[in-house]
């Protein structure tokens, strides 16, 4: 049993029996009678041990004189003298921000429930998961809160979400209702992924502090700045050892995660939506997004192993979930807007001759779009560039033996577009205020059903107009004046979340209409790299920065939370368009090998020798991609801490390994640095592709002394097979 209720002590013990336990307890609370407390999360406990956990809730809440306010409420509300950030602020008909949630009962169910209208982890059969529903209710406002926990038995992780129902006759306004609240005794560093355009998901470790550390997006997208993911770990925890707790929000919109550490030594972490003031009418309910809760006692790599497996196998869906991804060529950095069919076909021919499998036509194929200042929304082909439409181009690409893919940015509208001239109120805007453009565009109001229907139709028409096997779904700006023309004044605070619900409806519809299409999401590079998008689209364009050295950081950081096969990774031209750096084709290919691999340059400009090297890279990728898709990924050496970077993939039985080592810059007479390879069979020998023999014990305990060429941005890749 993954969920056990201990009746006498009124304890719920949730455990996968190997990796974690999570314990909640029903106990008295002076204000509400009984309520729910979170008393443990960590290493798996024997079931009887759960009964001996200290009763943290026994500390009186309201002893203001002594200032001892720290009960670990499982879902704290405001207006009750808790004095810490609340998971929920609920304003009732009396206008007061006060809700006291009283425990009412529980249900234990097999399997996992779907979340209405939202992406979520799933179980393929009931034996994969067990679910606990905990019912609470505020007697005065009749607001009901159901905390929903699911133990994913084989994935060794837990999910949580909350369903809030208004059972009263009056309206209740919910402010930023959180998906979870956890309490951990002790001091914790917060490790999170921050960034900006072209520098996404840098790893930052913030030491424990008294007070609030918070990451947040108010952009209407998860955003470049703060990824909806954080790890909490004691200061000793590193990549390979120590305890760590991961929280990953399954959501692509505005979000928040805050950690409050108090003087009694308790950390409270709350995470969920932000920018949300939701009016709940009588009988209505609000479903929060899901939070994935992961725990490891084997450092950040141990945590990433759990996250990668869970995301890859039970968050991503559809035909492409388990399929090896095609090697692609994208024309964006090759041509930008300056192309015609002839130019594209010349690139495609070169690509086909090198074994590339998919040609992706990026921005600029529609409306009058020859720069980024017009036509978003006008999803009909620019026949000056592509006479006869997409079908002749797609047919010619297929005749070369390649598949055809298309870029779209369906959530956007250019002020200079036929769509905007016909529907000026279809964009997010606030009456009487300027409509701020970014990249010359506005955001469609995806909270409106008519706009959602238009987007579904427009994408369906485009995808039906030719043989299209891949779509890059872009989103290049965030919200400014986030108002909707259809919502009444008191509901404008719902726009951020309603946009996401609308978008998810569209994505659900499009991906089920086109189940064979491989979708890749994108947002000015990696500005919406999150579990919400990955539910619909199994890969995301990682960053607009394609420089191989910068990508070491971006891909390394991204791998903390997301599996490498979800990261679009392309070889681009030199000097690199974002940083001007020249790196070898080998280095660029070795860095991109980690993810969903492709090229993004004008191949007609390359000398024959480089085309031959590309053909070899493509052949190697085809030989290795089962390993980069399904293998276990481990970080070996961080570019954030050293001039090196290294990672490895291992097949499940450790019979096949891929070890990738990089040095960012050369130095004269360098010191010797050995890089250990932990995920090997230490009793076996391995051969590399050149026939050299390596011993697993030496790889694991001594390490590899990399042989880099004497230059900056050097790489070494070893493909090892057990002898
Ligand atoms: C965004 C994407 C790029 C490219 C351009 C096209 O910036 O991240 O890869 O598709 O849009 O305008």
| Helix/strand number for the chain, H first, E second | 12, 37
DSSP annotation of 224 reads S
Q: Contact, 161 vs 75, CB < 8 A?
A: no
- Ligand 1: does its nearest atom lie under 6 Å from the Cβ of 332? yes
Does residue 612 have a pLDDT over 70? Answer: yes
For residues 103 and 24, what is the distance between their CA atoms, to the nearest angstrom?
12
Q: What is the pLDDT of residues 179-211, one digit of tens each?
A: 999 999 999 999 999 999 999 999 999 999 999
| Residue 95 region by backbone torsions, left for phi larger than 0, else alpha for psi between -120 and 50, else beta | left
- What is the pLDDT confidence band of residue 639, given thresholds at 50, 70 and 90? very high
Residue 496: φ, ψ to 5°: -55, -50
Compute the distance between CA of residue 517 and CA of residue 491 in angstroms, rounded to an integer: 36
pLDDT at 71 over 90: no
Ligand 1, atom 1: closest residue by C-alpha: 524
Instruction: Determine contact, residues 534/316, Cβ cutoff 8 Å.
Output: yes
Which pair of tokens denotes residue 565?
A: 């096969």
**Distance in angstroms (rounded) separating the CA atoms of residues 148 and 107:** 10
- Alpha carbon of 519 to ligand 1 centroid (Å): 15
CA-CA distance, 709 to 264, in Å (whole number)? 54
Residue with tokens 């809440």: 61
Cα-Cα-Cα-Cα dihedral sign, residues 430, 434, 435, 436: negative
Closest CA to 76 of 150, 14, 136: 136
CA-to-CA dists, residue 564 to 309, 540, 661, angstroms: 11, 10, 16
Tell me what the mean pLDDT of segment 371-393 comes to.
98
How far apart are the CA of 170 and the centre of ligand 1, in A?
47
What is the reported pLDDT for 67? Answer: 47
Distance CA 111, CA 123 (A): 6
Average pLDDT of span 662-667: 96
List 103's β-bridge partners, or say none: 136
Q: What is the pLDDT of residue 70?
A: 67
Q: Which atom of ligand 1 is nearest to the CA of 523?
A: 8
pLDDT per position as a tens digit, 99-118: 999 999 999 999 999 999 99
Residues 69, 135: Cα–Cα separation, whole Å: 24
- Please say whether the beta carbons of 9 and 23 come within 8 A: no
Q: What percent of the chain has pLDDT over 90?
A: 95
Q: In terms of DSSP H, where are the helices of 38-188?
A: none
- Ligand 1 center from residue 407 Cα (angstroms): 9
Ligand 1 and 406: CB distance under 6 A? no
pLDDT tens, 39-64?
Answer: 999 999 999 999 999 876 555 444 44
Q: Which among 130, 544, 547, 679 is annotated as catalytic?
A: 544
Q: Is 541 a pocket residue for ligand 1 (Cβ < 6 Å)?
A: yes
Q: What angle do CA 226, 230, 231 make, to 5 degrees?
A: 150
Judge whether residue 404 has pLDDT over 50: yes
Residue 509 pLDDT class (50, 70, 90 cuts): very high
The predicted pLDDT at position 29 comes to: 80
Average pLDDT of the segment spanning 229-254: 98
Where do we find the tokens 């427009």?
A: 458
CA of 376 relative to ligand 1 center, distance in Å: 13
Query: Is the pLDDT assigned to residue 65 strictly greater than 70?
Result: no
59-73, 138-152, 365-379, 534-548: least confidently modelled range: 59-73
pLDDT of the residue at 58: 57
In angstroms, the CA 639 to CA 587 distance is: 15
544 classed as catalytic: yes
The average confidence (pLDDT) of the chain is 96
- Sign (positive or negative) of CA dihedral 604, 610, 614, 619: positive
> Is the model more confident about 142 or about 82?
142
Q: Is 474 a catalytic residue?
A: yes
| pLDDT mean over 455-484 | 98
Confidence of residue 33 (pLDDT cuts 50, 70, 90): confident
* Residue 31 confidence (pLDDT): 76
Quick check: 230 pLDDT over 70?
Answer: yes
pLDDT tier for residue 506 given thresholds of 50, 70 and 90: very high
Over residues 135-149, the mean pLDDT reads 96
Which residue in 82, 130, 474, 530 is the catalytic one? 474
Q: Token pair 């004044």 is at which residue?
A: 489
Mean pLDDT of 281-290: 98
pTM of the model: 0.98
In whole angstroms, give the CA distance from residue 262 to residue 498: 35
Do 556 and 640 touch, CB atoms closer than 8 A? yes
Q: Number of C-alpha atoms within 13 angstroms, CB side, residue 84?
A: 32
Give how far Cα 495 sits from Cα of 279, 331, 423, 708, Å.
12, 35, 19, 53
């Amino acid at each position: 049993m993954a969920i056990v209720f201990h009746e006498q002590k009124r304890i719920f013990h949730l455990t996968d029996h190997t990796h974690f336990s999570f314990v909640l307890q029903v106990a008295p609370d002076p204000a509400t009678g009984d309520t729910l407390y979170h008393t443990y999360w960590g290493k798996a406990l024997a079931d009887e041990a759960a009964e001996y956990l200290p009763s943290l809730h026994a500390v009186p809440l309201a002893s203001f004189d002594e200032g001892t306010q720290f009960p670990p409420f499982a879902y704290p509300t405001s207006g009750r003298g808790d004095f810490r950030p609340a998971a929920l602020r609920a304003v009732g008909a009396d206008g007061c921000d006060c809700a006291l949630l009283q425990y009412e009962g529980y249900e234990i169910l097999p399997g996992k429930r779907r979340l209405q209208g939202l992406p979520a982890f799933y179980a393929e059969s009931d034996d994969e998961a067990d679910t606990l529903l905990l019912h609470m209710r505020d007697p005065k406002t009749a607001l009901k809160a159901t905390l929903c926990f699911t133990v994913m038995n084989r994935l060794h992780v837990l999910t949580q979400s909350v369903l809030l129902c208004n059972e009263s006759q009056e309206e209740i306004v919910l402010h930023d209702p959180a998906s979870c609240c956890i309490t951990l005794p002790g001091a914790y560093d917060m490790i999170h992924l921050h960034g900006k355009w072209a520098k996404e998901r840098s790893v930052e470790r913030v030491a424990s502090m008294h007070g609030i550390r918070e990451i947040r997006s108010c952009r209407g997208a998860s955003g470049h700045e703060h990824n909806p993911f954080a790890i909490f770990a004691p200061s000793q925890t590193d990549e390979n050892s120590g305890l760590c707790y991961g929280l990953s929000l399954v959501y692509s919109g505005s979000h928040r995660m805050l950690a409050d550490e108090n003087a009694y030594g308790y950390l409270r972490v709350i995470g969920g939506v932000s920018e949300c003031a939701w009016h709940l009418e009588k009988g209505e309910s609000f479903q929060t997004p899901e939070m994935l809760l992961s725990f490891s006692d084997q450092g950040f790599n141990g945590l990433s192993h759990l996250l990668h497996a869970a995301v890859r196998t039970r968050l991503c869906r559809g035909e492409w979930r388990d399929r090896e991804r095609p090697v692609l060529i994208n024309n964006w950095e090759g041509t930008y807007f300056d192309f015609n069919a002839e130019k594209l076909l010349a690139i495609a021919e070169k690509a086909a001759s090198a074994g590339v499998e998919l040609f992706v036509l990026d921005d600029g194929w529609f409306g009058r779009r020859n720069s980024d200042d017009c036509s978003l929304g006008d999803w009909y082909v620019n026949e000056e560039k592509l006479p006869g439409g997409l079908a002749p181009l797609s047919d010619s690409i297929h005749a070369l033996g390649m598949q055809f893919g298309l870029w779209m940015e369906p959530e956007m509208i250019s002020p200079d577009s036929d769509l905007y001239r016909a529907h000026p109120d279809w964009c997010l805007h606030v009456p009487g205020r300027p409509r701020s453009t970014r990249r010359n565009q506005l955001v469609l109001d995806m909270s409106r059903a008519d706009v959602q229907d238009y987007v579904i139709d427009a994408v369906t028409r485009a995808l039906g107009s030719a043989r299209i096997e891949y779509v890059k779904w872009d989103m290049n700006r965030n919200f400014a004046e986030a108002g909707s023309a259809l919502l009444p004044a008191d509901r404008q605070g719902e726009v951020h979340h309603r946009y996401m619900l609308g978008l998810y409806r569209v994505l659900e519809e499009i991906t089920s209409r086109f189940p064979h299409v491989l979708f890749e999401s994108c947002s000015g590079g990696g500005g919406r790299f999150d579990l919400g998008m990955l539910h619909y689209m199994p890969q995301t364009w990682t960053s607009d920065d394609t420089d191989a050295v910068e990508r070491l950081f971006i891909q390394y950081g991204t791998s903390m939370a997301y599996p490498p096969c979800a990261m679009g990774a392309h070889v681009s031209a030199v000097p690199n368009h974002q940083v001007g750096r020249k790196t070898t084709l080998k280095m660029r290919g070795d860095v991109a090998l980690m993810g969903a691999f492709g090229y993004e340059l004008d191949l007609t400009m390359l000398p024959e020798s480089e085309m031959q090297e590309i053909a070899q890279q493509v052949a190697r990728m085809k030989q290795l991609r089962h390993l980069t898709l399904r293998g276990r990924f481990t970080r070996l050496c961080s570019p954030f801490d050293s001039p090196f970077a290294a990672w490895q993939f291992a097949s499940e039985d450790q019979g096949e390994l891929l070890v990738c080592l990089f040095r960012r810059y050369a130095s004269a007479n360098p010191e010797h640095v050995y890089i250990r390879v932990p995920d090997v069979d230490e009793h076996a020998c391995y051969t590399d592709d050149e026939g050299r023999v390596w011993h697993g014990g030496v790889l694991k305990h001594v390490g590899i002394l990399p042989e880099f060429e004497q230059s900056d941005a050097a790489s070494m890749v070893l493909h090892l097979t057990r002898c």
